[in-house]
Amino acid sequence: MSENSSEKSRSGFWKNLAGWFGFERKSEYVRNYFADVNVHTSVYMSFIILGLEIYVMYYKLSKAFDAGLVLKGFTLYREGEKYKTLFTVLKDNLLLSAMALVMLLFAAYYRKNAHSGDQKLRRKLTVFSFLLDIVFSYICLYFGFVTSRSDYEKGNQILTFVTMILFVACLLIWSPYASTVILTVIFWCFLKFGVDYFALTSVNGSNGDRINYATFFISLLMVSFSIYHQRKAEAIKDESLESANRSLKKMTVTDDLTGISNMSNFVYEAGRKLKDPETDPGSLVFLFADISNFGNFNDKYGYEEGNKLLRKTAEILTDVFPESLVARQSDDHFVVLTAKQNIKQLDVAKERIREGYTGIRLGLKAGGYYPTDRETDPNIACDRARYASTTIKKQFDDDYAVYDDSMADSFARRQYIINNLDTAIENGYIKPYYQPVVWAENHKLCGFEALARWIDPDHGFMSPGDFIPILEEYRQIYKLDLAIMRSALADIKRSMDMGFPGIPVSLNFSRVDFERAGLVGELEKAIRDAGIPRKLIHVEVTESTLSQYQSRMHETLTELHDKGYAIWLDDFGSGYSALNVLKDFAFDVMKIDMIFLRGFETNPKARVVLKNVVDLAGAVSMRTLTEGVETAEQAEYLRSIGCERLQGYLFGKPMPFEEATQKISDGHLVVSEELMIPGTDAE
């Protein structure tokens, strides 16, 4: 243990030391950051050098002219004789100016392109800028060196040398080991080949001078080290800030599952595109597309495969609609803003989505909306495109529909429903109607089914068929179901206060209710608040509810059942996975869909099928109820084959609470003494 830790600290020491000298691995961000700083610094230095050099060249030439030299072409003449070419006289100055110019040009290119987002180019620029820094530094130092020697020979100070060292070692950022090498070499060269300005090598050089020179060297070294570390710390801080920023930004603009744009980003970008003077809104189309059969696909292959399919679809759409905006709205819903002529790409996308899945026939249904002007609201445009697509939902041969004015009325109604649900609930426009459920044996009342009605001051009476599919599609149905649940509980309480026996009520729940957590909690709370026994509530779920989100659903139902709620399987026989459902869940009652009563009078097979269904229920210990009973003959037959409960217009249509209680009071409805089947219905 202690050996281990001392080993660790030893390796930590070497690591620290290496880090101090700049030997550690730097992230790309840090390297780029250094490149940015160096290019920036070089620009200043280049300007200074250019200014100075132009002045020096001018100065040199004017001195030459003062001394009687004459310039012919590029050659200087003295007293008619060739003296030197212009180039020989100015070569050092020209070289340095040229280098400064190159540096400036590079810096201009760098600034334009380094942050363009092209990572490959960025990497190249960073590497190239360091190479250029090396050349530039070398030339600067050489220049400082030469100038200082000539200055010294003229008895002047050697400030150019000092300036250049300061520039190279302290303004440009090098890793400390590189600064050490550079400074050591330059200080040594200056001593060796330069001038003995400090008189260090001469006999009369004093110790003080030597110490001065060494101190200067060490100070520069330390300054360059500390600048390096300071800049590095800055870069690292910047990097973490930027990456936090990036992931934040990513979170707000992309869809988690597919990585393509999310809806809020789509709306923003689409709005910008429409307003862009370079685009003609008339050339564009908003598309809303969803995968047909996606629900069945999920059931069959599971959630993970479903997600894979969504990612694949996102990829395909992005691919077939280049230079367009593509986003996932929710579930299997995608939106696209593209040029009108691209609409045919939907077929290409559909074919590609199908590839690789043979077990299930996938499709892509889409709706389109043509924006009318720059002010078109992308949200509404997508809703309209979506609405257009719902008009062909059940048509096998139609994959694309465009929103037109004839859809305006029903679209407006749909928007009305979504936008007014909350107010309608608050104001009590939505309430349960009660349809009687009777014993087949004696037609006495044994319960009610609560069925939602929306009685709107503007739109009048609305049936569930008008609003339930829409609320389900927009995942708002839970609000309605909870409202109906509360009203129904209040009504039960009210009826009991009026002296009626507690009559059980069936509540309908949609699949989407089970995707949200908290259903049980809300029901429990409402039951407690109303102070009525749980056995008075039957929870109706449809088999289609059961096929998706299996496990969450299963858990919730089990929990409800354990608490004492009866669970009724609604609409048995209307879907395709019917039999499987029986094996997976222990329902109390099977509600046989009214579809089985179709052709009851004319087709003798209808009776055989019904009998078999009732027997099947019995075989898996479920009680039965048949819905949609309209004739006495149907009722009698159902009784004869052992179906226990009946519901249908024969016994009463769904009616308001007042009407139901009235009917009981005046004897139209006779409440059974036995409201449940002892020992089998939930206690």
Question: Which residues here bind Ca ion, judged by CB under 5 A?
Answer: 508, 540, 570-571, 627
Q: Tell me the two tokens of residue 472.
A: 């389900």
Minimum distance from residue 616 beta carbon to ligand C2E (Å): 19
Binding flag, residue 652, ligand C2E (CB under 6 A): no
Q: Which stretch binds ligand C2E (CB under 6 A): 93-101, 224-232, 307-315, 622-630?
A: 622-630
- Region of 591 please: left (phi>0), alpha (psi -120 to 50) or beta: beta
- Of the candidate spans 87-95, 138-146, 603-611, 643-651, the one that interacts with ligand C2E by CB under 6 A turns out to be 643-651
Which of these segments, 99-107, 307-315, 504-512, 661-669, binds ligand C2E (CB under 6 A)? 504-512
Residue among 144 and 628 whose Cβ is closer to Ca ion: 628
Q: Say whether residue 23 binds ligand C2E (CB under 6 A).
A: no
Residue 388 interacts with ligand C2E (CB under 6 A): yes or no = no
List of long-range contacts for 106-113, beta carbons under 8 Å, 24+ apart: 106/39, 106/132, 107/39, 107/40, 107/42, 107/43, 107/46, 110/39, 111/39
Concatenate the DSSP letters of all residues of 239-298 into one string.
HHHHHHHHHHHHHHHB-TTT-SB-HHHHHHHHHHHHH-TTS-GGGEEEEEEEEETHHHHH
Q: In what order do the strands lie in the sheet with 75-78?
A: 69-72, 75-78, 81-85
Tokens 């059969």, residue located: 293
Among 129, 262, 508, 544, binds ligand C2E (CB under 6 A): 508
- Find which of Ca ion, ligand C2E, none residue 510 binds, CB within 5 to 8 Å per kind: ligand C2E
Closest CB to ligand C2E among 359 and 465? 465
Which token pair is 42?
Answer: 């070089």
Cβ(430)–Cβ(468) below 8 Å: no
Residue 164's binding partner among ligand C2E, Ca ion, none (Cβ under 5 to 8 angstroms by kind) is none
401: number of Cβ within 10 Å: 20
In the region spanning residues 402 to 441, those forming contacts with ligand C2E, defined by CB under 6 A, are 435
Q: Which residue has the tokens 């070692």?
A: 169
The item of Ca ion, ligand C2E, none sharing an interface with residue 464, based on CB under 5 to 8 Å by kind, is: ligand C2E
Q: Which does 628 bind (CB under 5 to 8 A by kind): Ca ion, ligand C2E, none?
A: ligand C2E
Q: For 598, which DSSP code?
A: T
Name which position in 649, 662, 665, 674 contacts ligand C2E (CB under 6 A).
649
Dihedrals phi, psi of 395, to nearest 5 degrees: -90, 120
Q: Which residue in 510, 545, 548, 556 binds ligand C2E (CB under 6 A)?
A: 510
Residue 484 within binding range of ligand C2E, rule CB under 6 A: yes
Tell me, by CB under 6 A, how many residues bind ligand C2E: 24
Question: Helix, strand, or coil here: 19?
Answer: helix
Q: Binding partner of residue 53 among Ca ion, ligand C2E, none, CB under 5 to 8 Å per kind?
A: none
Strand-pairing partners, residue 297, are none
d(CA 668, CA 651): 10
Pick between residue 224 and residue 508 the one whose CB is nearest to Ca ion: 508
Answer yes or no whether residue 477 interacts with ligand C2E by CB under 6 A: yes
Q: Does 481 bind ligand C2E (CB under 6 A)?
A: yes
**Tokens representing residue 226 in the block:** 């500390």
- Of 176 and 648, CB closest to ligand C2E: 648
Q: Does 292 bind ligand C2E (CB under 6 A)?
A: no
**Among 40-48, 261-269, 407-415, 460-468, the segment contacting ligand C2E (CB under 6 A):** 460-468
Q: Select the binding partner of residue 438 from ligand C2E, Ca ion, none (C-beta < 5 to 8 A, by kind).
A: none
Please choose which of ligand C2E, Ca ion, none residue 451 contacts, taking the beta carbon within 5 to 8 angstroms, the exact cut-off set by kind: ligand C2E
- Unique residue bearing structure tokens 């003449």: 77
At residue 400, the 3 state secondary structure works out as: strand
Interface pick for ligand C2E out of 437, 468, 557, 589 (rule CB under 6 A):
468
DSSP line for 484-548? HHHHHHHHHHHHHHTT-----EEEE--HHHHHSTTHHHHHHHHHHHHT--GGGEEEEEEHHHHHS
524, interface contact from ligand C2E, Ca ion, none, CB < 5-8 Å by kind: none
Give the range of 145-153, 314-322, 457-465, 530-538 binding ligand C2E by CB under 6 A: 457-465
Q: Single out the residue of 205, 464, 502, 618 in contact with ligand C2E (rule: CB under 6 A).
A: 464
Span of 87-95, 123-131, 406-414, 623-631 interacting with ligand C2E by CB under 6 A = 623-631
Cβ-based nearer residue to Ca ion, 133 or 481 = 481
- Looking at 6-14, 261-269, 306-314, 645-653, which segment touches ligand C2E (CB under 6 A)? 645-653
Q: Where is 78: in which H helix or E strand?
A: strand 75-78
Any contact of residue 654 with ligand C2E (CB under 6 A)? yes
Q: Which helix (H) or strand (E) holds 159?
A: helix 159-165
Site for ligand C2E in 533-592 (CB under 6 A): 570-571
Q: How far is the CB of 487 from ligand C2E (least distance, A)?
A: 10
546 neighbors 585 (Cβ within 8 angstroms): yes
What is the SS3 assignment for 318-357? HHHCCCCEEEEEECCEEEEEEEHHHCCHHHHHHHHHHCCC
Residue 630 touches ligand C2E, criterion: CB under 6 A: yes
We find the least distance from the C-beta atom of residue 508 to Ca ion, in angstroms, to be 4
Tokens of 355: 């590839």
Q: Least CB distance from residue 508 to ligand C2E, whole Å?
A: 4
How far CA 27 is from CA of 105, 110, 602, in Å, comes to 27, 20, 81
Q: Which is nearer to ligand C2E, 53 or 491 (CB)?
A: 491
Pick the closer one to Ca ion by CB: 97 or 626. Answer: 626
Alpha carbons 259 and 327: distance in angstroms, whole number: 9
Q: Select the binding partner of residue 129 from ligand C2E, Ca ion, none (C-beta < 5 to 8 A, by kind).
A: none
Task: Report if residue 14 touches ligand C2E, rule: CB under 6 A.
Answer: no
Residue type, 49: I
Element (H, E) at 423: helix 408-426
Q: Out of 320, 325, 382, 452, which residue is the one contacting ligand C2E (CB under 6 A)? A: 452
Q: In this structure, what DSSP letter does residue 655 have?
A: B
Q: Which residues bind ligand C2E (CB under 6 A)?
A: 435, 451-452, 463-465, 468, 477, 481, 484, 508-510, 570-571, 594, 627-630, 647-649, 654
